[in-house]
Amino acid sequence: MWKDRSESSSSRIPGSRLEHLYASVACLHKDYIGLKARLVELQEENIALHEVLAESGVLSMTKLEIRTHKRRFSRARRQHPCAWPGSLPQAVGIPGPAFQVSRFLGLPTKRALRAVCRVLETTIGEVEKKMRPTGRLYVCGGTDGQERLSSAERFNLSNGTWEVLPPMIHRRYGITASVLHGRLYVCGGFNGQEALSSAERFDPGSGTWELLLPMTEKRFGAASGVINGQLYVCGGSNGQERLCSLERFDPCWGAWEHLTSMTFRRFGTAAAPMDGFLYVCGGSDGRHDLNSAERFDPDMEVWLAVPSMEQQRSFAAAATVNGRLYVCGGIKDKLELSSVECYIPEQQQWVHSQPMMERRGKASCGTIGGCLYICGGSNGQEQLSSAERFDPTTRCWEPLKGMTQRRCGASAAVLLPTATPSPRSRPVCGVSTSRRQRQQMAWTTPHQVIA
């Protein structure tokens, strides 16, 4: 019907006039294309002009963006007037809203808000001080390229500096570290002559190291994690072969015990606890770098398969951030990596994350305040002392102050200042006690103990 009407209306227009209309439309379209091209040229010239002025120091891009934002916001207010009894600075100036705003904004947005308004700069700055994480990243051992190290240091987030700690009892390279009951546990490693089975722990209250009962096997290039108040150590090498074994340290008994072995031998593997499981990723079986992953269920004492990573990697660093497992860097085919993968457990899949600023193999990492901290390692040419931090909310890496010395093959763990050592975490002198023996002792009556 509509087609008939258009055809009938067109038929009523004289042919010469219709041709004139078509010519006018074609001319307008040509002018539109020309104006659009000219607009693109002007936009490019505008961007180039801004870059030239900014490089010469005449123009501040931040101030330009702020001024543009103010003009656009003022125009929108004029077009859509409304009676607001308060203002944004007044609303955000209240402690409650200020805390929530600072909590969810992210670093770039907070910086923009603080640059826009002096009131917001003061308020958000005060809230940030209260929200600032207070944990410390402890980094121990490794090698500086010349010798195996016994030194240790920690990163203080409150002032962004590294503090030197008392040295460990033994020199250790390729070690693994975890925090248990407010103390730092360091296990295994290589002292330059042999793989180590020894373990020691650091008490931040007294600032001293003490030796523990040795592990059941010599291990370097192993991985560890704490689940339900117990320390698990798996994989590595004893100097002769790659290991797939797993053992657990119970601080109540001060003893080590063997558990179910992993599916694969893993030397230079990365591990981190998440949701009550110990996730183990990558490593080397002696022939190939691995991309396979698995997790240990401490309740069932079994290993369960996990989807493989996108990339093969050994000597990577792993940590859990906000319910996600991040595996950073590592080595593939003798090449250090800067890539990062993130495992999402509810989707059972790996996704690529923003790569690090540097290639890092045999680096150390930990999580504080919802951010991932990684330091040291090797870029393939030299051992590193540099450090960087990843914020998952902004998906950005930023450099931090470097460590006091280069460290490759070190290990890191996070110790919170509020964590107090448990009175139960004292080692029991004597031989290692098996799981069955402990169960029998747990069922022993008081009269039997006295006897």
Kindly give, in sequence order, each residue whose CB lies less than 8 Å from that of residue 253, ignoring residues fewer than 6 positions away.
Answer: 428, 433, 438
Considering the chain, what is the average pLDDT of its residues? 85
- Cα(27)–Cα(15) distance, integer angstroms: 18
Angle of the 118-131 helix axis to the 107-116 helix axis, nearest 10: 140
Look at residue 24 in the predicted model and tell me its pLDDT.
86
Higher pLDDT, 390 or 108: 390
- Cα(71)–Cα(67) distance, integer angstroms: 6
Strand partners, 384: none
Look at residue 60 in the predicted model and tell me its pLDDT.
85
pLDDT band of residue 102 (cuts 50, 70, 90) is: low
DSSP state for residue 401 in the 8-state scheme: P
Please answer whether residues 171 and 147 qualify as being in contact, where contact means their C-beta atoms are separated by less than 8 angstroms: yes
| Percent residues over pLDDT 90 in the chain | 60
User: Which residue shows structure tokens 């920690």?
Assistant: 154
Reported as type and span, the H/E element at residue 97 is helix 95-105
pLDDT band of residue 143 (cuts 50, 70, 90) is: very high
- Which amino acid is present at 111? R
Please answer whether residues 292 and 279 qualify as being in contact, where contact means their C-beta atoms are separated by less than 8 angstroms: no
Report helix, strand or coil for 71: helix
Look at residue 305 in the predicted model and tell me its pLDDT.
96
Residue 301 has pLDDT above 60, yes or no: yes
Nearest to 153 by CA among 218, 195, 223, 202: 202
- Cα(208)–Cα(211) distance, integer angstroms: 10
Q: Give me Rg for the CA atoms of the chain.
A: 31
DSSP state for residue 308 in the 8-state scheme: P
Residue 410 has pLDDT above 60, yes or no: yes
pLDDT band of residue 154 (cuts 50, 70, 90) is: very high
pLDDT band of residue 57 (cuts 50, 70, 90) is: confident
User: Tokens representing 23?
Assistant: 């010519």
293-297, 365-369, 414-418: the lowest-pLDDT one: 414-418
CA 376 to chain centre: 14
Query: What is the three-state SS of 356-399?
Result: CCCCCECCEEEEECCEEEEECCECCCCECCCEEEEECCCCEEEE
Nearest to 326 by CA among 255, 259, 397: 397
Strand partners, 397: 390
Question: Phi/psi at 282 (nearest 5 deg)?
Answer: 65, -150
User: Where would I find the beta strands (DSSP E) of 235-276?
Assistant: 246-250, 255-259, 270-274
- Cα(273)–Cα(413) distance, integer angstroms: 12
Look at residue 427 in the predicted model and tell me its pLDDT.
43
Q: What count of residues does the chain have? A: 451
Higher pLDDT, 394 or 242: 242
Report helix, strand or coil for 122: helix
Please answer whether residues 233 and 247 qualify as being in contact, where contact means their C-beta atoms are separated by less than 8 angstroms: yes
Residue 434 has pLDDT above 50, yes or no: no
Please answer whether residues 376 and 329 qualify as being in contact, where contact means their C-beta atoms are separated by less than 8 angstroms: no
Averaged pLDDT for residues 315-341:
97
| Percent residues over pLDDT 70 in the chain | 78
Name the range with the highest mean pLDDT among 40-54, 101-115, 354-368: 354-368
Please answer whether residues 289 and 312 qualify as being in contact, where contact means their C-beta atoms are separated by less than 8 angstroms: yes
